[in-house]
Each structure stands twice: as C-alpha cells, then as structure tokens.
Structure 1
Amino acid sequence: MEYDEHNPLRSVDGKLVKCPSSYQWKMQDISASDAGRTEDTKMDKKRIGQIRKIELEWQNVSITDAAAILQAFNPEYIEVCYLDAMTGTYRTSEFYVGDRSTPLYNAKLGVWNNVAFNIIERSGV
C-alpha cells in the first residue's frame, strides 16, 4: 500500500491502512463517579479527563481490502497516528476497537457494502 498524504489515518501499529470513506472525530468527557445533577437541577459534571473516539467507515470494499482493514484493527489495543481535530495536527495514541460490521453487498463481485467501526482512545488527557 502506498502512502496517501490525504489519509486522516497515517498508521495503525506502524503500518499504512486504506483511506476511509468516512472519518468522524469525536471527543468525550470522562466524569468522576460522583458527578451528577443535584436536587436544585444544577449539573456537577466533575470532568476528570477526555478521550477521543473516531467513527470509521470504508464503502464498497473488496474482500481482500476488507480483510486487511479488519486484521489491522484486530489486536486488543492498537497505536494509531490520526488527524486530531482539536490540535489540528497528527497525533499518536492507543485505542481499542468497538463492534465491527461488514454487510455483504455482492458475493459474485467480491464486494462488501462497507466496513465500519469506532476506535476509542484507551486513556484520556
């Protein structure tokens, strides 16, 4: 696979991956266990950290490419170099992968409709 300067995923565990069709960056706040709303309706968020979550999708993927994508993201934890919307730069962090889905489009043509899953940062900042 060739390097693609426009790919928001620079690498997964140091290896190149196919550029996704959809890349949605998200940030989630992590609140303390005693956070919540009080009886006077005031929210005490008690943010203790933040993590990134990236929603990924590849559309109309060949059987070979789908296998390569799923294998690259299969380890329990992966190091991903990705485009971070908050910093405006590429950064590297450890992620784990959520549920994966690959609905079959056409077995005769050897194409999956898409490969989709989320990657979630393992520890926050």
Structure 2
Amino acid sequence: MGRPKTDLFKINGKPMLAPDNGVGFSYEDLDASDSGRDESGIMHRIVVRYKVGKWSFEFGSISEADRQYMESLFADNAEFEFTHPDRNNAGTAVTSRCYRSKYDLSWYNAKKGMWQNYKFNIVEC
C-alpha cells in the first residue's frame, strides 16, 4: 500500500501524494529592474506582479513506487498546471501555471527501495 493521494494539490489534474508535514506557502511581489532608491534615498517601486506563489513540499520517507509516481506527474515538463488552495479562501481550489526547477532526495535503503528527505518547490510562472 502506497502513500495516500490528496486532491488539495494536483499536477495537470492528477492528485499529488500527501506530504508528511505541512506545506509551506509563500508569496512575493516581483519588482521591475528599474525599481530602487534614488540619490536621496527614496524608494521608487515599480511592481510587475503581485503575490507570485511558491509552495514547499517535504516527504520524510518515500518508497520507490511513490517516488516514480510523483516524478511521472512532472514528466520533465518545463511548466504544468498546478491546482492548489486559493490564498484568500483555502476552501476554494485554483489552478496556476507553475514550474519545478529542482528537487532533493537521499537514497535511504536501496535493498528496500526507500528514499528519504524528498523535497521540492513549485513556483508560479
């Protein structure tokens, strides 16, 4: 029996596996390259986009089969549709265009096909 799936988070419509711990959410405004302080120290901010989302996932241990399932969701796509709770109303799902640029994991037990510390971030495009 593998790890349970959750409909709270989906990649291209397919449910992700439920992570061990809470999912980290962060939002960041993107400023234009010509934003900054002038010679008198006054900040002139030109916002290109507000509240670009980033979600951090962690799995303490994961089987080879579950690792393969998760990696199949990303399938070496540069971008994908990510369904997640809305930042203003967690009871409502929204879908964003996102990417995953990196992931980390350690091979814990090769004989049993177990991995640990599987971590990745999903970032809004």
Tell whether the structures are fold-level matches, with TM greater than 0.5.
Answer: yes
Q: Which residue of 1 aligns with 2:30?
A: 30
Post-superposition Cα deviations, 1:47-96, rounded to whole Å, max 9, x if no partner, equal 12131111112221001101111221232111011123334332111101
Determine whether 1:56 maps to 2:61. Answer: no
Task: Give TM-score scaled by structure 2 length.
Answer: 0.83
Which consecutive unaligned segments of at least 5 residues does structure 1 have?
Answer: none
As a proportion of its length, which structure holds more strand? 2
Q: Which residue of 2 aligns with 1:43?
A: 43
Q: Which residue of 2 aligns with 1:73?
A: 74
Q: Which residue of 1 aligns with 2:114?
A: 111
How far did residue 40 of structure 1 move?
Answer: 2.5
| More off after superposition, 65-74 vs 84-93 | 84-93
Report the aligned-residue RMSD. Answer: 2.0
Say whether the 8 Å CA contact 1:25–1:84 is kept in structure 2.
no
Q: Size of the alignment, in residue pairs?
A: 119
Task: Give TM-score scaled by structure 1 length.
Answer: 0.83
What stretches of structure 1 move > 6 A for 4+ residues in a row? Answer: none
The 2-side partners of 1:94 and 1:57 are apart by 21
Say whether the 8 Å CA contact 1:58–1:114 is kept in structure 2.
yes
Say whether the 8 Å CA contact 2:5–2:18 is kept in structure 1.
no
Give the share of equivalent positions with the same residue, in percent.
28
| More off after superposition, 100-109 vs 35-44 | 35-44
The 1-side partners of 2:17 and 2:57 are apart by 11
Which consecutive unaligned segments of at least 5 residues does structure 2 have?
Answer: none
